[in-house]
Amino acid sequence: MELLNVTDLTAKPVSLLSNCTVDTSYRFTFYQVSYSVIFLLGLATNGLAVRRLCVSPGAMNSTAVYMASLSAVDLFFVISLPLRIYYYHQRARASGWTPGAAYCQVTFVVKYISLYGGIFFLVCIAVDRYCAVVRPLASAARRLRVARAVSGGIWCVVLGLGVGLPLLRSAAARPSEPCLLDPSERRHRAVILAVLGLVLAAFLLPALLLLYSYCRVLRVLRRPRRRRCRRGRRRTLTVIYWVLAVFLLCFLPYHVNLLGYTLTHVELLPHCGLARLTKAAHPVVLSLASFNCCLNPLVYYFSSSLVHRETPSGGGSGSQ
């Protein structure tokens, strides 16, 4: 049940890649193990983060609002993992079980909401740090009601992507196996490329905004007058480096691999070596992308002093 199901993208070998085969039968067992670990860790870490946020409503500020949304997105994905584990268990047994269209739609909706909800709310945390450090006088951007409005808007966008992308990709699915894509027809390839473009845009635009925000924050923190607040500076730097690590470890490899695999299998980039490499790597990078739900709670852990120190005042504005 990959994001685009690129591991099983073709119903039959594409002409230019007919001899490019690689054994990925290991993926069914690999997914069962990796998703089981993610389920246990994600349930524990996100449950603790949500509990901590819920029992401290008086300390709620803009940072806490975005962290609460991030934890909710992660929990939403974690509780869906038993469905995915069951799917791969059935595939590993070669039982002949074929999931219905509704099952595929629900699974893809949850996957898109989790992946891009995680990306968008991590970017919200980055912009929040930017406003706290670089624009501390512009407190309106960090008021509690503004953070709640932004969080609500992000949820609308994420839900729109989560529902819209699976519906779009279903237009290129196989009638007999609705979870799998079929790029053999030209119109199917156009749909697949459209989904790919939307997916890459949903990653690249937030990533650029995150990098811009953090570069500006780092420039400010290097100034001599900022070095006097060493504890707050250290906490902010830890949050920055951790969020960047999550992006580099979880999200970047997946999207780079997805781009290479899709282009090779719709024959826009008919390179046999690249097709084999991306197909073999896909189970690993997809599991890494899913593992972000276990790493995100550590962002809350590292930023917890910022949450509790920047207590709301005057409508929820805070300062660095």
Report the CATH number at residue 284. Answer: 1.20.1070.10
pLDDT recorded at residue 176: 66
pLDDT at 145 over 80: yes
Looking at the DSSP bridge assignments, the partners of residue 181 are 173
Over residues 220-247, the mean pLDDT reads 75
Q: For residue 93, is it within any domain?
A: yes
Over residues 294-304, the mean pLDDT reads 78
- Three-class DSSP category at 48: helix
What is the domain extent for residue 199? 24-309
Give Dmax (Cα) for the chain.
Answer: 66
Q: For residue 178, is it within any domain?
A: yes
- Three-class DSSP category at 240: helix
Q: For residue 15, is it within any domain?
A: no
How many domains, in total, are found in the chain?
1
pLDDT recorded at residue 178: 66
- Three-class DSSP category at 56: coil
More confident residue, 70 or 1: 70
Residue 88's CB is within 10 A of a number of other CB atoms, namely 19
Q: For residue 2, is it within any domain?
A: no
Identify whether the C-beta of residue 214 lies closer than 8 Å to the C-beta of residue 236.
no
- Three-class DSSP category at 313: strand
Q: For residue 46, is it within any domain?
A: yes
Q: For residue 115, is it within any domain?
A: yes
Amino acid at 70: L
pLDDT-derived band of residue 65, with 50, 70 and 90 as boundaries? Answer: confident
pLDDT recorded at residue 58: 57
CA 147 to chain centre: 20
Out of 180-194, 208-222, 296-310, give the one with best mean pLDDT: 208-222
Per-residue pLDDT of 148-170, as tens digits, reads 999 999 999 999 988 888 877 77
- Three-class DSSP category at 173: strand
pLDDT recorded at residue 12: 44
Identify whether the C-beta of residue 245 lies closer than 8 Å to the C-beta of residue 231.
no
pLDDT-derived band of residue 207, with 50, 70 and 90 as boundaries? Answer: very high
Q: For residue 7, is it within any domain?
A: no
Per-residue pLDDT of 92-144, as tens digits, reads 776 666 677 787 788 888 888 989 999 999 999 888 888 888 887 666 667 88
Q: For residue 159, is it within any domain?
A: yes
pLDDT recorded at residue 203: 94
How far apart are the C-alpha atoms of 11 and 199, rounded to whole Å? 23
CA nearest neighbour of 206 among 287, 267, 117, 268: 117
| 302: CB partners within 8 A, 6+ apart | 235, 238, 239, 242
Q: Which token pair is 202?
A: 């949903």
